[in-house]
Chains A and B, each alone.
Chain A
Amino acid sequence: MVVAGLVTRSSAPVVAGLSLLIGTPFIAALAIALGTFASRGRLAAYAAATIAFAALGAWLAG
């Protein structure tokens, strides 16, 4: 899904939504990060990557 987000670029929100539906917020955030990075939204990509890493940390701890 992450790869799909990268390849299709603008489909990142769709990929993120699908990921959230199957309960993987980390993957969703990562998809947004990669998708926005691919569409040159550098700031949004960093913001999404931050959320992704924070979600990963909480997931690993819990």
Chain B
Amino acid sequence: MDYGRSIHSIRNIIGRITYGLIGLDKLLQDDVNESDDYLHSFFSLFESHDLSSRGVHKLLPEVEGTIVTYNPQLREELVRVAERVREIRDETNASKTEIGSVYDQLETLLNKVYETTSSRSNPSSFD
């Protein structure tokens, strides 16, 4: 793991989670087409980011490596929330309240990522 430069990777992860929020925001606005583009970016954190696929999502190895560097607990939480986002996306009749609830979960997770990465301690090797 390239610890020193992982700051760029973590910003990218933050970006993709933020894009997930935009996707849910667009769902709340009933703009499914635009929502798809943004959610696609969010799901690209995972190995299988086909929005229609069911089953457990597995983070890309490089994403997992970066997250684990900062806080291993976030990995499980991200997988869990992503699964909820996928369910909402696949559910044609999801209510605004349900979408809003998943939105809140994802936003809470995003806040944790910000919090963890700003208090990160330093690295262990050289490249």
- Pair from one complex: no
> Taking beta carbons and an 8 Å cutoff, which residues of B are in contact with A?
none
> Taking beta carbons and an 8 Å cutoff, which residues of A are in contact with B?
none
